[in-house]
């Protein structure tokens, strides 16, 4: 390893935004550890790294399991001696009207999206604090800035990530550690297709059935018009190479427009606009 080569760790690297972030960082000479829950899903990254001769390693890590996080971070620090960048990307979307959500479904959503981020960050912080430097990039969402129907559990995790990130940024700044939020809108990945639909929401007898069908149709249309995943990856690269990164980065024209509207409207006006749009 080159002595001044910075080390990046990315969770949820096997597909979508995580895959693009991983490749972008490796292509820009960061020693990049792509963490994946299932090592078999890291084969594309491995073959791409071999093909392009990228400084990229595959590491097994499940953000819902403390032992795999501890083992992964220990393995990375033993090998590289440091961690300069942590990108908390692992996550998925749970879709369903709030009344239709089972508690187990909500808990699973929070375990991955929120508690997974917390576990991984807490495991990395002692390393960054010791070296007196580091940057933590939390992949949030436009859903961390405003709610929408059918997304209560997912939106809840993203709002929590926003508040958590803001709070710890004050605590970590004296140790030379920066915290950044990246907030994508709709991105052209398999995220929408991979969404978990609450069991009760799949029942035509649900009182929310027609509403959820409309939301699914609108979401599909918005996803088709979404930004490319490499736009998120370039935003992350910009943040981690900046001397003074912004606390937040919106990614995509759609989310920029929504946030602009939210900031210029009253809550009631924004509420009415979302009902009309969704």
- pLDDT (average), residues 266-271: 96
What is the rounded distance in angstroms from the CA atom of residue 266 to the CA atom of residue 257?
15
| Percentage of the chain modeled with pLDDT above 90 | 90
- pLDDT (average), residues 130-151: 97
Under 8 Å between Cβ of 180 and 135 = yes
On average, the pLDDT of the chain sits at 95
Which position among 154, 165, 178, 219 bears the catalytic label?
154
- pLDDT (average), residues 59-80: 97
Which position among 13, 14, 140, 227 bears the catalytic label?
140
Sheet containing 85-88: which strands, arranged edge to edge? 56-60, 31-36, 7-10, 85-88, 134-139, 177-184, 248-251
Which position among 6, 19, 158, 178 bears the catalytic label?
158
- pLDDT (average), residues 199-222: 92
Residue 38, judged by CB atoms within 10 A of its CB (0-12, 13-18, 19+), counts as: exposed
pLDDT, position 69? 98
Count of CB atoms within 10 A of residue 67's CB? 8
Mean pLDDT is lowest, of 96-110, 131-145, 185-199, for: 185-199
158 part of the active site: yes
Q: Is the pLDDT of residue 189 over 80?
A: no
pLDDT, position 1? 43
Assigned token pair, 195: 């969404």
What is the rounded distance in angstroms from the CA atom of residue 32 to the CA atom of residue 22?
7
What is the rounded distance in angstroms from the CA atom of residue 278 to the CA atom of residue 264?
19
| Radius of gyration, alpha carbons of the chain | 19
In sequence order, the β-bridge partners of residue 41 are: none
Q: Which residues contact 155 (CB under 8 A, 6 or more apart)?
A: 143, 144, 147, 148
Q: Is the pLDDT of residue 2 over 60?
A: no
Q: Is the pLDDT of residue 192 over 70?
A: no
Under 8 Å between Cβ of 69 and 61 = yes
- Kindly list the distances between the CA atom of residue 176 and the CA atoms of 128, 131, 133, 140, in Å, as whole numbers in the listed order: 8, 9, 5, 22
Higher pLDDT, residue 255 or 219 = 255
143 pLDDT tier (thresholds 50, 70, 90): very high
28 pLDDT tier (thresholds 50, 70, 90): very high
Class (C level, CATH) for 7-277: alpha beta
154 part of the active site: yes
209 part of the active site: no
- pLDDT (average), residues 109-127: 98
Count of CB atoms within 10 A of residue 66's CB? 13
Under 8 Å between Cβ of 135 and 178 = yes
Higher pLDDT, residue 221 or 177 = 177
In the chain, domain spans: 7-277
What is the rounded distance in angstroms from the CA atom of residue 245 to the CA atom of residue 28?
18
pLDDT, position 193? 67
């Amino acid at each position: 390893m080159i002595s001044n080569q910075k080390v990046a760790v990315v969770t949820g690297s096997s597909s979508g935004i995580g895959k693009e972030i991983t490749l972008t960082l490796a292509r820009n000479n960061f020693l990049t550890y792509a963490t994946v829950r299932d090592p078999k899903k890291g084969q594309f990254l491995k073959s791409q790294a071999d093909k392009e001769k990228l400084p990229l390693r595959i590491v097994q890590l499940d953000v819902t399991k403390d032992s795999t996080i501890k083992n992964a971070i220990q393995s990375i620090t033993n090998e590289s001696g440091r961690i300069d960048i942590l990108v908390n990307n692992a996550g998925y979307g749970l879709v369903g009207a709030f009344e239709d959500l089972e508690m187990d479904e909500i808990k699973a959503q929070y375990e991955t999206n929120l508690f997974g981020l917390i576990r991984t960050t807490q495991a990395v912080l002692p390393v960054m604090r010791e070296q007196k430097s580091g940057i933590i990039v939390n992949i949030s969402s436009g859903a961390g800035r405003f709610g929408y129907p059918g997304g209560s559990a997912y939106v809840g995790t993203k709002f929590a990530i926003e508040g958590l990130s803001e709070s710890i940024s004050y605590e970590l700044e004296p140790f030379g550690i920066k915290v950044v939020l990246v907030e994508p809108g709709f991105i052209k990945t398999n995220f929408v297709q991979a969404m978990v639909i609450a069991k009760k929401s799949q029942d035509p007898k649900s009182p929310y059935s027609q509403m959820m069908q409309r939301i699914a149709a609108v979401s599909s249309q918005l996803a088709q018009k979404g930004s490319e995943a490499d736009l998120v990856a370039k935003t992350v690269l910009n943040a981690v190479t900046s001397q003074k990164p912004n606390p937040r980065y919106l990614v995509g024209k759609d989310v920029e427009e929504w946030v602009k509207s939210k900031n210029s409207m009253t809550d009631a006006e924004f509420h009415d606009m979302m009902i009309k749009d969704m």
